[in-house]
Amino acid sequence: MIEHPRFTGATLDRAAELRDDRHQLERLLADPRARFVGASADAVLVTAAPGGEAMLLRRPLDGHVNPHQPILLGLEEGRPLFAADVSDTEAAQHLAATGAGQLVTLRDAGMMLGRAEGGLAAYLVALLNWHRHHRFCANCGAATRISDAGLARRCPTCRSSHFPRTDPVVIMLISDGERVLLGRREGWEPGRFSILAGFVSPGETPEEAVVREVCEEAGIVAHSPRYLASQPWPFPSSLMLGYEAQALPGEPVAQVGEMAEVRWFTLQEVRDGQGGGGTLRLPGEVSIARALIDAWVARGGTLL
């Protein structure tokens, strides 16, 4: 199995029972222990913990959180933790400069942060991105307002409620028993390959999506998909569902509009790619794609 992919492991109490109580929210906002963590569309404010490990920069609210429409992430050992949008570069740089932190891309932060902090970073970025992209009602077009302390938006005109969405994506390591199937997407530089992935369609199970996507992207018939692990992927709002599956014999063919190139790779070729040798460039270690590939290599090129 794949243990602890990056961006998993958040320990925060999301405090569902407090979110629709205005008096409780006012109490949390007034708590002198209250802090906020900040993020832009693809980066988070990070600092060094006393022990040297990186962590999200926590700062007193100091006007960075709107008291009328606060985004409460939850409670850390009883201490309120809010989210703040620091998309304004100047503001983010000022916060970093005055708080001994720095603005780091989420992909880089995923490699720097421990499990709990990495999970919190994914939650923070995904939630703020959802608010950025859902400021208007999908039902009537009116401007919406934050409600439930950030876990919903409501329309004052038609009274519709809107909730954060997560798009399920299957990502699958496909093997013919000796080799692994990798693909290069349009726009990727030559030599850069990853395992295949695709969104789960309406009315479809993840297992059905695995078989369909492999056929659509590579013309290969896959079967017996097996779920291994999942990973939040807030770029901007996906949940990666990691699978392995077997493939019937056949040569892959890149399907028009799907992939630039698909091919089988031997165990040795992938090992060379892990070590930076050869011409194969594998996904970064922050991704579940790399975790699935590394696990396959560690098992000597066999499926579970």
Rounded Cα distance between 134 and 153, Å, is 8
Rounded Cα distance between 92 and 5, Å, is 28
Q: Are 221 and 198 in contact (CB under 8 A)?
A: no
Say what the pLDDT of residue 1 is.
Answer: 65
Say what the pLDDT of residue 101 is.
Answer: 82
* CATH no., domain 167-298: 3.90.79.10
Q: Could you tell me the two tokens for 264?
A: 């089988």
DSSP secondary structure letter of residue 291: H
Number of CB atoms found within 10 A of residue 6's CB: 26
Is the pTM here over 0.75, yes or no?
A: yes
Domain residues of the chain, as ranges? 16-133, 167-298
Q: Flag residues of the chain having pLDDT under 70.
A: 1, 100
> Is the peptide bond preceding residue 236 cis, with omega within 30 degrees of 0?
yes
Beta-strand runs (E) in the chain: 35-39, 43-48, 54-56, 59-60, 72-76, 79-85, 101-105, 145-147, 152-154, 161-162, 167-175, 179-184, 196-199, 222-233, 238-247, 261-266
Rounded Cα distance between 66 and 70, Å, is 5
| For the chain, percent of residues with pLDDT exceeding 90 | 86
Domain 16-133 identical in fold to domain 167-298: yes
* CATH no., domain 16-133: 3.90.79
Q: What are the backbone dihedrals phi and psi of residue 22, each rounded to the nearest 5 degrees, phi first?
A: -60, -35
